[in-house]
Structure 1
Amino acid sequence: MNLEQTRRWLAAGRRLGLEVIAPCQLILSNGSKLEATALVKVGPPKGMVVDPAWSVLEPHAHQLVAEGFGYSAVTIGEDDDLSDLLRDWAPG
């Protein structure tokens, strides 16, 4: 993700009243690390991990679910991508 895309995501998150950390690195309890496009905090204590490539998320999918993260693979682009994604996702 380039700087301009990061700015768009941060702006979209602020408009939606969310904290968006982009890019982000998660260190899961099993020690695995996940570098992703964005972490969107929608409720304590966890958030949603977003990355454009399922291959990045797939090795960590079970651990993400176990630790209370939602996740989605999307094409990163305009602000509407973030809005649409959040509309379709609810923390579990």
Structure 2
Amino acid sequence: MNETENQNTDARITALENEVKRLTMLVDRIYSYTHLGIHKPSLDNPEVLSGANPIDVDAKLQELIRNRDIISAAKQYVQITGVGLLEAKAAVKNMI
């Protein structure tokens, strides 16, 4: 690469880094609206980080659904997805 290409690449990388920072701030702002029932999902679950659908691969949630334990399953669903409890309960009922 010549010097001009390096400068262009550096400028694009800097622009992308700035955009990621801006988007991260926006997402954090959305999660700060707790009165809307929006909760940040747990990143402790490795499936969330891998891009797999955490609802499909969470063994604990699937077991609770098989046992028809709606309340515990809804709480687990909230932990996985970060949605509000009412939305989680409705989703669990749909899965059962």
TM class by shorter-chain length? Answer: 0.3 to 0.5
Identify, as 1 or 2, the structure richer in strand: 1
Structure 1 length as normaliser, TM-score? 0.34
Structure of greater Rg? 2
Structure 2 length as normaliser, TM-score? 0.33
Identify, as 1 or 2, the structure richer in helix: 2
